[in-house]
């Protein structure tokens, strides 16, 4: 399927590396005008230089209360409007429950959930029938791991938020969906995957037998942003090698009955 997004104006948050960068590249290759945002200025510049078509960028930290409004205002100034919003900015910070402070919990929720909400809210006046919002959640929204109580909470909230906003915007023909990636080869997992024991544990838990690629998430996001997904509203798509749906016989200490 040749998906085209010619002339459509897209915002991609968390675009300086990993999944966000791959999505920006995929949208650009499909003809979209891409507005990149992240707190990593050097990473943004590198990604912008790699894109196939026009782009603009802004350095933003979603710990700032007005970050969402500033992102959308800059995108509108650059391209005259917004047709696609990809909310990918997020942090993966973990701690055992007894060590998870309220301050860290609030930080995770503010970046992972409030950030996506405020960007979408600020973009709403510019969205029209056929526009699309894609939130990048996580398989951890349904399959939590030790130390990840706050992260899992944030990603579960993002899935529910997707459905809630979709309920309001679907009558206008504005589609809101989300993707739940499994373990993906990105800077967020780089240190974990470098440890042979942890790497083997992660891979063994994936029925597909490998860690996913950022480009595979980008392909799903580009599809959801396009007219090819015109009948999809409020969907949550697992792109996780089967992790949340299929029992993996290689996973240590598991069985179909457990």
Catalytic positions: 151
User: Are the C-beta atoms of residues 21 and 15 closer than 8 Å to each other?
Assistant: yes
DSSP E strands in the chain: the ranges are: 9-13, 33-38, 55-59, 84-87, 132-136, 175-181, 236-239
Q: Distances in Å between the alpha carbon of 137 and those of 100, 158, 177, 231?
A: 21, 6, 10, 20
User: Are the C-beta atoms of residues 213 and 170 closer than 8 Å to each other?
Assistant: no
Measured CA to CA, the distance from residue 176 to residue 170 in angstroms comes to: 8
Q: State the helix-helix crossing angle for 149-169 and 102-109, rounded to 10 degrees.
A: 30
Angle among Cα 222, 6, 89 to the nearest 5 degrees reads 40
What would the two tokens of residue 235 be? Answer: 């969907």
State phi, psi for 118 to the nearest 5 degrees.
-70, -35
User: Are the C-beta atoms of residues 137 and 86 closer than 8 Å to each other?
Assistant: no
């Amino acid at each position: 399927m040749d998906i085209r997004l010619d002339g459509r104006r897209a915002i991609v948050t968390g675009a300086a590396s990993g999944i966000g960068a791959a999505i920006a590249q995929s949208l650009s290759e499909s003809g979209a005008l891409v507005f990149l945002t992240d707190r990593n200025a050097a990473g943004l510049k590198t990604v912008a230089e790699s894109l196939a078509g026009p782009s603009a960028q802004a350095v933003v930290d979603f710990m700032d209360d007005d970050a969402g409004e500033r992102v959308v205002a800059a995108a509108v100034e650059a391209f005259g409007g917004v047709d696609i919003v990809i909310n990918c900015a997020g942090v993966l910070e973990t701690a055992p429950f007894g060590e998870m402070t309220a301050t860290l919990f609030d930080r995770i929720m503010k970046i992972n959930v409030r950030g996506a909400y405020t960007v979408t809210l600020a973009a709403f006046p510019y969205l029209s029938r056929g526009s699309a919002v894609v939130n990048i959640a996580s398989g951890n929204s349904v399959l939590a791991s030790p130390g990840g109580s706050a992260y899992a909470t944030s990603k579960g909230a993002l899935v529910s938020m997707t459905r809630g906003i979709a309920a309001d915007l679907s009558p206008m023909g504005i589609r809101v969906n989300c993707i739940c990636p499994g373990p993906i080869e990105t800077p967020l997992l780089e240190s974990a995957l470098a440890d042979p024991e942890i790497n083997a544990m992660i891979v063994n838990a994936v029925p597909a037998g490998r860690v996913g690629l950022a480009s595979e998430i980008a392909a799903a996001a580009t599809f959801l942003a396009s007219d090819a997904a015109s009948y999809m509203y409020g969907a949550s798509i697992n792109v996780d090698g089967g992790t949340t749906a299929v029992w993996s016989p290689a996973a240590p200490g598991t069985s179909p009955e457990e």
